[in-house]
Amino acid sequence: MIKLYGFPVSDYYNMVKVALLEKGFQFEEVMVRPGADPAFLAKSPMGKIPCLEVAEGFITETNVILEFIEDSSSDHPLLPADSFQRAKVRELMKSAELYLELVARQLFGGVFFGAPLSDELKQSVGAQLDKGVAALNKLLKFKPYAAGTELTYADIVLYYSATLGGMAVERALGRKLADEIPGLAAWLALMDRNAAVQKANRDRDAALKAMMAG
């Protein structure tokens, strides 16, 4: 059976988990924290999560895993059939990751793990965010989904980038993504009703609770 290695608090892990759930794959979750444990590095060369194990071996890098999931099952496609529209979905996936998730991620140490958050860092992230948000506003459709009328991987990547990233941005910079991205709030509410997202979020919240308690 497919195994998903990682930790349910991770936004990248949840992108893959939601895709597997949404496509109806059977899989087992293996709890592992990212790091330099040689046994894990043998599976995930950078020690990052998520990592997917299939019959043939291991796959890392979320966007690559998502493409693999799509290539592995034609049921319930999460990419459009038309090649231009597929590219537009991939453009949104990449933009959400590069210009929102990875920008906000620079704040995670300060916001979630008590590292120093310098004014310089906040200013730099704020300026990167201005550009990222402007770019996303040009690409997002919200009709009602991120790339158009159907749920795609762009929704899944954007959802976890905008929720965890949005939390860090709000706490560190006092900026609410929903105030800057028209349509985001209604779309987040739509995504919150998705059964796969609900399952991943329930597991995430339980893992967070256990982390806080222990």
Cross-strand bridge partners of residue 31: 6
Minimum CB distance to ligand GSH, residue 43 (Å): 12
Q: Judged by CB, which is closer to ligand GSH: 34, or 166?
A: 34
Number of Cβ atoms within 10 Å of the Cβ of 49: 23
Q: DSSP letter for 145, please.
A: B
Task: Report d(CA 127, CA 129) in Å as an integer.
Answer: 5
Bridge partners, residue 30, by sequence? 5
CB of 27 or CB of 142, closer to ligand GSH: 27
Quote the least distance from Cβ 125 to ligand GSH, whole Å.
17
**CB-count exposure of residue 83 (10 Å: 0-12, 13-18, 19+):** exposed
Q: How far is the CB of 77 from ligand GSH (least distance, A)?
A: 22
Question: In this complex, which beta carbon is closest to ligand GSH, that of residue 102 or of residue 190?
Answer: 102
- Token pair 């506003």: residue: 137
**Quick one: 50 or 110, whose CB is closer to ligand GSH?**
50
Q: Give 5 or 145: the residue with its C-beta nearer to ligand GSH.
A: 5
- Shortest reach from residue 175's CB to ligand GSH, in Å: 22
**Omega before 50 cis (within 30°)?**
yes
Spatial distance between the Cα atoms of 203 and 186, rounded to a whole number of angstroms? 23
The helix/strand/coil state of 201 is helix
Task: Give least dist CB 16 to ligand GSH, A.
Answer: 8
User: Which residue carries 């709000």 as its tokens?
Assistant: 170
Nearer to ligand GSH, 58 or 119 (CB): 58
Contacts with ligand GSH, residue ranges (CB under 6 A): 10-12, 34, 47-50, 61-62
Q: Region of 24 please: left (phi>0), alpha (psi -120 to 50) or beta.
A: left
Q: Min. distance of Cβ 208 from ligand GSH in angstroms?
A: 13
